[in-house]
Amino acid sequence: VSFRRPTILDVAALSGVSKSTVSNVMRGAAGASAQTRERVLAAVDELGYRPNAAARNLVQRRTNLLGVVVWDLANAFDAELVKRIEQHASARSYTTVVCNTGGHPELEASRLDALLEQRVDGIALVDFTGDRAVISRLLAARVPVVMVSCWADYADCVAVDDQAGIGAAVEHLVALGHERIGYVDQPSMEVTTRRGRAAAFERALERHGLPLRWRFDDGEDFVGVLRDGGPTALVAATDHIAVRLIERLEAGGLNVPADVSLVGFDGIPVGALARIALTTVAQPADDLARQAVALLLNRIDRGYEAAPEQRRLEPALVLRRSTAPPRRPASAAR
C-alpha cells in the first residue's frame, strides 16, 4: 500500500471522463448525465478520493482554521477553555489548531508563525506573553485575534472582571475576620491577567484600610513567613496555584483553613472535590469560550475596521471549606 493520496486525475482516469466532469459532479454542478455521475461517484468511492480542502480554501481565501494559543494544558482551566473553544468552533464548522507555548516568548513567536503560515482565519489567545515583537507580527499579518480570559486594548477581548472577582475574595476574608491577607501569583502567568489581579488585590486591601505587606511568588519559599506570624489568609491568582499551595502549606505544618485560609481563582473541577474544597472566584468557562468564538467569527466576517469589541463577564465567588475565621483574633497576633 502506498500512501499517495488519490487525485482528481485518478478519478477521471478510472471513470473515463475529463477532470472538469469529475469536478462538476463533485460540486453538484449541472452538465453530467446521471450515468456519468454514477460512474464518477463509484470511482470516487473505490479510490477513496477526497476533494482537497486546501484547494477549495485557496479559491475562497478561507481555511476555516482557528489557532488557539495556550500556556499550559496541565492547568485544568486552560484545558477546559481549549476544549470548549474547540467545541464551539466545531459547531460553526471551524477546526482548531492548538499551540501550547509554556509562556516562552520564543516558543510563542514560532507557534504563531506556524499558525500564520497555515493561514488560520483567526487566533484565540487564551494566554499571551504580550511580547511586542509578537504583537507587531500579528498586526502586520492582519489576522483576527481574540483574547480569552486575558486583555489588550487593541484586540477583541472577553474576560471576567478580575477586579470584582479579587474584590469579592478579599471582602469574604475580611468578613471572616482576617486582617493579615497575602497574595500569591507566579511569573508563568499571562501578563495582563497577572498585573490586573495583583492590582485588584492591592486596591481591595486599600479599600478595607489594610496594609499590603505580603506578596509572594509561587516559586519562593514563603511557608516559613506564614508560620512566623505572617498572613492568616492568602488569595491565590489561580486555582492551579491554590491547589498546589494546599499541599505545600500542609507539608509545612500549616492546616488549611485552620491555620491559613485560602481563596483561588478560576473554578477548576478539582477545587470542587470535598478533599480539596477550595473557596474560589469561578469564571464561566463555557460562556468565555462561546463568546470568544463569536467575537472571532464576527471579526473574520466583518474585517478589521470596527473598533475592538470588549466584554467583561461577572465571576462568582464560590464558598467552600478552604476559608474560615482566623485562629486567633488578629490583634493578638505577634
Partner 1 sequence: MPPDRWATQRPTIVDVAALSGVSKSTVSNVLRGAGRVSESTRSRVLESIEALGYRPNSLARDLVRRRSSTIGVVLGDLANTFYADLVKLLELRLSEAAYTTIVCNTDGHEELERARVEMLLERAVSGVVMLQFSGDGVVLDELAAARVPVVVVSCWEERADCVAVDDRAGMAAAVEHLYALGHRRIAHVTSGLVEDSTRAARYAGYAAAMLAHGLEPALLEPGAPGSEFTAFAAANDVIAVRLIDALEAGGRRVPDDVSVVGFDGTDLGAHSRIRLTTVAQPRGRLIADGLRLLSERMAGTDGPPRHIRLEPELVVRGTTA
* Interaction residues for partner 1, span 74-113 (CB under 8 A): 74, 76, 79-80, 82-83, 86-87, 90, 95-100, 107, 110-111
Kindly state whether residue 23 participates in binding partner 1, applying the rule CB under 8 A: no
| Segment 214 to 273, residues that bind partner 1, using CB under 8 A | 243-244, 246-247, 250-251, 269-270, 273
Kindly state the smallest distance separating residue 215's Cβ from partner 1, in Å.
25
Cell 491554590, located at residue: 242
Cell 478533599, located at residue: 275
Q: How far apart are CA 116 and CA 25, in angstroms?
A: 33
Considering beta carbons, is residue 200 or 263 the nearer one to partner 1?
263
Can you tell me which of 105, 252, 284, 308 binds partner 1, judged by CB under 8 A?
A: 308
Q: Is 24 helix (H, G, I), strand (E, B) or coil?
A: helix
Contact pattern from residue 160 through residue 199 relative to partner 1, giving x for each residue in contact according to CB under 8 A and a dash for the rest: ----------------------------------------
Kindly state the smallest distance separating residue 293's Cβ from partner 1, in Å.
14
Window of 21-29, 123-131, 218-226, 305-313 that interacts with partner 1 by CB under 8 A: 305-313
| Residue from 274, 280, 250, 275 nearest 262 by CA | 280
Give the count of alpha carbons within 13 A of 258, CB side only. Answer: 4
Total residues contacting partner 1 (rule CB under 8 A)?
Answer: 73
Alpha helices per DSSP H over the chain: 8-15, 19-27, 34-47, 53-60, 76-91, 105-117, 132-141, 162-175, 191-207, 223-227, 239-251, 269-272, 285-302
Can you tell me which of 9, 29, 55, 319 binds partner 1, judged by CB under 8 A?
A: 55
Q: Kindly write down the DSSP assignment for every residue of 199-246, as one continuous string.
A: HHHHHHHHHTT-----EEETTS--HHHHHTT--SEEEESSHHHHHHHH
Can you tell me which of 29, 58, 133, 330 binds partner 1, judged by CB under 8 A?
A: 58
Kindly state the smallest distance separating residue 291's Cβ from partner 1, in Å.
19
Can you tell me which of 19, 27, 50, 215 binds partner 1, judged by CB under 8 A?
A: 50
Cell, residue 27: 460540486
Q: Are 286 and 302 in contact (CB under 8 A)?
A: no
Kindly state the smallest distance separating residue 207's Cβ from partner 1, in Å.
33
Kindly state whether residue 131 participates in binding partner 1, applying the rule CB under 8 A: no
Considering beta carbons, is residue 139 or 258 the nearer one to partner 1?
139
